[in-house]
Amino acid sequence: MTIASFYMRRIDCRKREAARKMKMKKISIVIPTYNEQENVGAMTEKLTEIMNTSLPQYDYEIIFIDNHSKDGTRKILRRLCAADKKVKAIFNARNFGQLRSPVHGLKQAYGDCVIRLNADFQDPPELIPEFVHKWEEGSKIVIGIKSKTDENFFMSFVRKKYYKLLRKITDIGHIENFTGFGLYDRDFVNIVRDIHDPVPYLRGMIAELGYDYETITYERPRRRAGKSKNNFYSLYDYAMVGITSYSKVVMRIATFFGFGVGVLSLIVALVYFILKLIHWDWFRSGIAPLVIGVFFLGGVELFFIGLLGEYVLSINSRVLDRPLVIEEERLNFEDSTLHNE
pLDDT digits (tens, 9 = 90+) for 40-92: 999 999 999 999 999 999 999 999 999 999 999 999 999 999 999 999 999 99
What confidence tens digit (pLDDT) does each residue in 198-221 have?
778 788 788 778 688 999 999 887
Please report, as a single letter, which amino acid is at residue 189. Answer: V
Q: What pLDDT score does 295 carry?
A: 65
Q: Residue range 189-195: average pLDDT?
A: 90
> Looking at the domain assignment, is residue 304 inside a domain?
no
Q: How far is CA 115 from the centre of its chain?
A: 13
**Which of 80, 75, 90, 76 lies closest to 336, judged by CA?**
90
136 within some domain: yes
Q: Going edge to edge, which strands form the sheet with 59-66?
A: 213-219, 141-148, 182-185, 113-116, 26-33, 59-66, 87-92, 327-331
Q: Does some domain include residue 289?
A: no
Q: Distance (Å, rounded) from C-alpha 296 to C-alpha 300?
A: 6
Residue 288 located in a structural domain: no
Residue 148 domain flag:
yes
Q: In degrees, to the nearest 5, what angle opens at C-alpha 178 toward C-alphas 174 and 180?
A: 105
How far lies 238's CA from each of 18, 118, 209, 263, 286, in Å? 49, 17, 20, 36, 46
Residues 6+ apart with CB under 8 A from 142: 131, 134, 135, 182, 183, 213, 214, 215, 216
Question: For the residues 242-263, what does the mean pLDDT come to?
Answer: 70
Q: What is the CATH number of the domain that holds 188?
A: 3.90.550.10
- Does 267 fall in a domain? no
Q: In terms of residue numbers, what domain contains 147?
A: 7-247+322-331
> 216, 128 in Cβ contact below 8 A?
no
The pTM score is 0.74
pLDDT in tens, 93-138: 999 888 889 999 999 999 999 999 999 999 999 999 999 999 999 9
d(CA 143, CA 183): 6
**Domain membership flag for residue 298:** no
Query: Is 296 inside a domain boundary?
Result: no
